[in-house]
Structure 1
């Protein structure tokens, strides 16, 4: 009987240890800053500006998270990572969250032990070629030399697409996005493939951007979003609801120039969002006015999109399917209630 009781007690302790949360939020608060994994430099998404300050759509996610936690969007350190480095860095605890144009896939959650928190950018894989080739469709890329970045889903997707369409392919695999551009401009490949959003960004780094075009074909689904480690539901929820807060803020008209009015609003859904009713922020481990902090720091989803990658940016990417569901897109967030 004593042996049985000892086994049961040990099993109970082991189960409790397994179920115990990782307490990432506490670690971040104790450290006094957030550690955010970003790209090595992708304009519009995550790249340092002339003064060395990190800016971009993915950067705004981390600044929004820091604002929610500390009421200070600058309490974050950015850790630049290659595609191959990003997931090991997160698993090993070198960063608290990965916000680096990463595609949500089954294998990355089931095999790597990671969790994608929410989709903050709906993308798809495409192709960039020289305008002088007069190519109008990806179906005309037979016998092309295609540059692709190592450690991305683009490798297998490209092989599948060319095989399915009976086209010959020479794949040139390189470690970084910068290497893709250099190899392409040096003539080592005649095509670049990656997410369409990244193609727009890479084109800007070329000597003559106007000489290159992004083909209209989109050959895959690439839902992008921030990633966290499995095993810490509180942290997972906070990162997830930071994204949802920005989307809901745009839908409800809560923006940087309407915050004062929003805080005084008597509309139930706005009151819940800005924290004048309910304790939704406290349920996530932050202040009830966390959405106000976020919008004050980086704006709502639409403001961040337009400033970094949309019409008001150098990239000039149309909202397209990343428009709100109520405006013809597929962007949709659960309500705060």
Structure 2
């Protein structure tokens, strides 16, 4: 082999070696890789079951949702729902610890894992839904007018509206009170009071013609004094109440939703209906048998 042939042969060998290395690298790049097992995040559902009790954030001063009865026991619609969750988890409605908190603590207590769930008349809003995950709603709230059944100037919303500026509406003082009343009664006079009790006293004393309040609170007051008050028959500013959980745990959220849905439509309906009757005076119709009404 002469010098020229030897150089040519060496060049060919280097080319083949380079090509082989490139193919080997490509083969390694595209070769199947060994799958490594991923550990699934532990759901709060299992954590709660292992702990043996449910921890619920709620309040204690807002009937009929959450308040202390004459014996000092925590009661209300939110409390019934929390006990339903405990019963569904442990077959024991008492296995729940209540963390009493203000409305401003609802989201922080979830994010910091102080509580497992918030059941505290929480209105669903897009802003809050960026911070927590809401369950399906269990109540549709709104405001309305409560008036004296006898001895007052008006007994219906239509009468109040027809009176225009001659009607005076009372409500608990807040920055939105006039705006809320004037959404439905643009001409009515507005009188603000420092508490619901003070507003109720003004209505009883006939210093105001009607009391604007959440409809759930109105129903509760009417149930406490049968025949004394009357609902004006019109509601506005609807909003949904739901429970809230910390984001990122679909197993826990799905389980709570299952319990709530079956309370409203299925196996636990009798208990749910009894709570609605007790706290709101509302008689729920028994869900129809056959095709699920929620999908119709």
TM-score, normalised via structure 1 length: 0.60
Q: 2:278 aligned with 1:316, yes or no?
A: no
String of CA shifts for 1:164-212, please: whole Å, max 9, x gaps: 65325536375xxxx312343157976443331221113455xx56332
Give the drift of 1:161.
5.3
Measure, in 2, the Cα distance between the counterparts of 1:331 and 1:77: 34
* Distance change (3 Å), C-alpha of 1:193 and 1:161: closer
- 2:55 is matched with 35
Distance in 1 (alpha carbons) for counterparts of 2:79 and 2:164: 34
Structure 1: gaps (5+ residues): 1-19, 255-299
How far the C-alpha of 1:163 sits from its partner, in A, is 4.5
Q: 1:326 offset after TM fit, Å?
A: 3.5
Counterpart for residue 37 of structure 2: none
- Write out per-residue CA displacement over residues 59-102 of structure 1, whole angstroms, 9 at most, x where no aligned residue: 22211211222232211022334444434443443322122222
Asked if 1:126 corresponds to 2:164, the answer is no
Distance 1:231 1:171, change over 3 A: farther
> 1-side partners of 2:280 and 2:138: how far apart?
17
Cα distance in 2 for partners of 1:134, 1:308 equals 31
Match of 2:294 in 1: 332
Residue 109 and residue 194 in structure 1: after superposition, are their counterparts in 2 closer, same or farther (change >3 A)?
A: farther
Residue matched to 2:186: 166
- Give the alignment of 1:230-245 within 5 angstroms: 230-245=247-262
Identify which of 219, 226, 230 aligns with 1:200.
219
Structure 2 spans left out of the alignment, 5+ residues: 1-39
8 A Cα contact 1:124 1:220, kept in partner: yes
The separation in 2 between residues aligned to 1:331 and 1:49, in whole angstroms, is 36
The CA deviation at 1:147 is 1.9
Corresponding residue to 2:133 among 115, 122, 133: 115
Q: Is the 8 A contact 2:146 2:232 kept in 1?
A: yes
Name the structure 1 match of 2:77.
57
TM-score normalised to structure 2 length: 0.67
How far is the alpha carbon of 1:117 from its aligned partner?
Answer: 0.5
After superposition, the Cα gap between the structure-2 partners of 1:232 and 1:218, relative to the gap in structure 1 and judged at 3 Å, is: same
Post-superposition Cα deviations, 1:90-116, rounded to whole Å, max 9, x if no partner, equal 344332212222222222213xx1222
- 1:1-337 matched pairs, under 5 angstroms: 23-110=43-130, 113-131=131-149, 132-137=152-157, 139=161, 140=163, 142=165, 144-148=168-172, 156=176, 159-160=179-180, 162-163=182-183, 165-168=185-188, 170=190, 172=192, 179-185=195-201, 191-204=210-223, 210-249=227-266, 254=267, 300-305=268-273, 307-310=274-277, 313=278, 315-319=280-284, 323=285, 326=288, 332=294
Structure possessing the higher radius of gyration over alpha carbons: 2
Q: 1:182 and 1:35, CA in 2 relative to 1: closer, same or farther beyond 3 A?
A: farther
Cross-structure match for 1:284: none
**CA displacement at 1:133 relative to structure 2:** 3.1
Alignment length, in residue pairs?
Answer: 246
Q: CA deviation at 1:315?
A: 4.4
